[in-house]
Chain A
Amino acid sequence: MSNPTYMDYSSTTPVDPRVAKKMAECLTMEGNFGNPASRSHTYGWEAEQAVDNARKQVADLIGADTREIVWTSGATESNNLALKGIAHFYEKRGKHIITLRTEHKAILDTCRQLEREGFEVTYLDPMPNGLLDIEVFKNTIREDTILASFMHVNNEIGVIQDLHAIGDICREHKVFFHVDAAQSVGKIPIDLGTLPVDLMSFSAHKIYGPKGMGALYVSRKPRVRLEAQMHGGGHERGMRSGTLATHQIVGMGEAFAIAQDNMADEEVRTRALRDRLYAGFSDMEEVVVNGDFEQRIGSNLNISFNYVEGESLLMAISNIAVSSGSACTSASLEPSYVLRALGLSDELAHSSIRFSVGRYTTEKDVDDAIILVREKVQKLRDLSPLWDMFKDGVDLSTVVWAAH
């Protein structure tokens, strides 16, 4: 059996061969293997140069200064460092934090930990389209609010928050603003030279770089200070100790440089593929796109095929690698908390599939996916008692179910 067609680029991406080549050059005796912190010989100097070069590649893509980039092991670590680092450094100023219920678990779980440490966190509900209600946010800010954290692009539904509008409010109220940009960087423009953002988290593996590699942008103007979470040799200006992983850093830099060169074209191309995919489903009955369709990243389609359970659909379309908001894909019985926060019924949340296309997706991949999904949705609806009831005109919300 041939490998399934990969349509789960929001989950991770393969390393671009150009990136892999650069990384491989930083490993062996013949390569650039030195410790970038070694000051006494050429091995160290060359490694340091490679790291500096990568730092510039990352900074260039996001309109930042190289001194504002802190290397980390990924967006999860960046999020932890940003939230805990700010909270611990500025706790005398206040102990209130604001975030969104649809954030990634790396934000939500970090907030839970800060709550255990005595901080107070407000988890705002998004609007039904997944976007933050700016007015609600403004009214939630208090005297003791020190930090707001909102993701740029949501990992499940792909909606894009208005960072300018949110950031302006944060500046006005002297609240630090952190953004998880793991899903947006390299896909849509980010210019931290003009964006009112204090901290921003990045990951390499979402844009064809290696896993286990990320960065945190820490603004210099205005100056933002953090309490380190990882102590040691004082690397990264004391904010994150640990020997720099030259090959990983070089990989991230190269991936970001390639993204910068191709971003505009790639956005057009992936958007066209995504729109083609959606056009293949839009005439079907009882199909719902989850999250705002306009203010959404071009590569994401999160769609519910009502009355079909997501995991059984995944099983039926196992020739395509996608993900589902269905409970059954996790060990719990709860469907996606992101979709539930939009106010979706449990049925619709259980019925959702996330397609995310990327650099190596072709039109044929999309066309084949449309045919397969349509056929299998029909097959599963023919098997579904809920579909029968819908067809018989039964309003499912009025049925009393024997919950189990």
Chain B
Amino acid sequence: MAYSEKVLDHYENPRNVGKMDESDENVGTGMVGAPACGDVMRLQIKVSDEGVIEDAKFKTYGCGSAIASSSLVTEILKGMDLDEAVAISNSDIASELALPPVKIHCSVLAEDAIKAAVADYKEKHNA
């Protein structure tokens, strides 16, 4: 299968790879997918006291498109507030990366990861 240039770029030079302290009050962690399905994404966001995403990190087990989707998401999340973050849809990701139809599930997973990370952060602050 041929990959788009953007997928290849994110795959070759993934942005914001890493891990933040899950117990940090300002960090929200989303882990989605399953090894059985061939992809697992862990997305973490660091949210400022003003509610703006200051930093985002990811690690992904999965195909090139899954890695590229999560890498792209960490880039676009920075500077967004939480409402903007959860408004990101899988089709935004898929069209930005020109994913072929069989790889759409990778962008769905990335959307789920954002929602899970935001939900984790909100849970920490409502509790």
Contacts and interface: CB of A to CB of B under 8 A. Distances in A.
Interface of A: 307-309, 311-312, 315, 326-328, 331, 333, 335, 345-347, 350, 382-388, 396, 401-404
B6 interface: no
Interface in B22-63: 31-42, 59-63
Nearest to A402: B32
Given A309-B39, A385-B61, 12 more contacts: A312-B66, A328-B38, A328-B63, A347-B36, A384-B61, A385-B41, A385-B42, A387-B61, A401-B34, A401-B35, A402-B112, A404-B112
**A-B pairs with lowest CB-CB distance, top 5:** A401-B34, A346-B36, A385-B42, A347-B35, A311-B63
A345 B102 CA distance: 23
Contacts of B109: 404
Contacts of B17: 382-383
Contacts of A387: 61
A113 B112 CA distance: 41
Contact of B19 (A335, A346, A388): A388
Best-surrounded residue of A307, A345, A383 (most CB of chain B within 10 A)? A383
Contacts, number: 87
Contacts of B116: 402
A309 B63 contact: yes
B36 A309 contact: no
Given A402-B33, A404-B32, A404-B109, A333 B60 contact: no
B35 A315 contact: no
B37 A312 contact: no
Contacts of A347: 35-36
A383 B64 contact: no
B11 interface: yes
Contact of B35 (A346, A382, A383): A346
8 contacts: A346-B38, A383-B17, A383-B59, A383-B61, A385-B42, A386-B61, A404-B34, A404-B108
Given A312-B67, A404-B37, A388 B59 contact: yes
B105 interface: yes
Given A350-B38, A388-B19, A403-B37, A383 B63 contact: no
A328 B63 CA distance: 7
Nearest to A397: B35
Contacts of A403: 34, 36-37
Interface string B87-113: 000000000000000100100110010
